[in-house]
Structure 1
Amino acid sequence: MSRLPIILAALLLTLCACADPSEARPTQTTVQTPTQTSGQTAGQTAQPTRDPHSGLRYIRASDLPREAPPVLTQIARGGPFRYERDGVTFGNREGILPRQPRGTYREYTVPTPGSRDRGARRIVCAGASRSTDECYYTADHYASFRRIQP
Structure 2
Amino acid sequence: MPTSHRRPRPPRGRSAVTALMLALAMAAFPSSASAAGTRAVDPPSQLTALPAQVARACGLWHDQLDWPATVRPVDYRLSDGRYLRGGNEYDNRDGDLPAATGYHEYDVNPRPAPNTRRDAERLVREVATGQVWYSADHYADFTEILGGC
- After TM superposition, the score normalised by the length of structure 2 is 0.51
Residue of 33, 44, 52 corresponding to 1:58 = 44
Match of 2:32 in 1: none
Classify 1:71/1:112 alpha carbon distance in 2 versus 1 (closer, same or farther; 3 Å): closer
In structure 2, what residue type is equivalent to 1:135? V
The answer to whether the 8 A contact 2:42-2:144 is kept is: yes
1:71 aligned residue: 57
Q: Secondary structure at the match of 2:52?
A: coil
Match of 2:141 in 1: 144
Q: Does 1:120 align with 2:120?
A: yes
Deviations, residues 79-118 of structure 1 (Å, cap 9, x unaligned): 156234x1111111121001112xx1111111289xx721
- State the aligned residue count: 88
- Report the 3-state secondary structure (helix = DSSP H, G, I; strand = E; otherwise coil) of the residue aligned with 2:141: coil
Counterpart code for 1:105:
Y
Report the structure, 1 or 2, having the larger strand content: 2
RMSD: 2.5
Amino acid at match of 1:142: Y
- For structure 1, the 5+ residue unaligned runs are 1-54
2:112 is the alignment partner of 1:111: no
Residue of structure 2 in register with 1:83 after alignment:
84
Q: How does 1:10-25 map to 2 (within 5 A)?
A: none
- Structure 1 runs (4+) deviating above 2 angstroms are 80-84
- CA radius of gyration, larger in: 1
* Contact 2:84 2:109 (8 Å CA) reproduced: no
Query: Which position in structure 2 is the counterpart of 1:16?
Result: none
User: Equivalents in 2 of 1:143, 1:95: separation in Å?
Assistant: 12
* Equivalent position SS for 1:74: helix
AA in 1 matched with 2:131: E
CA contact (8 A) 1:121 1:138 kept: yes
Give unpaired runs (5+ residues) of structure 2: 1-40, 66-75, 78-82
- Give the residue type in structure 1 aligned to 2:49: D
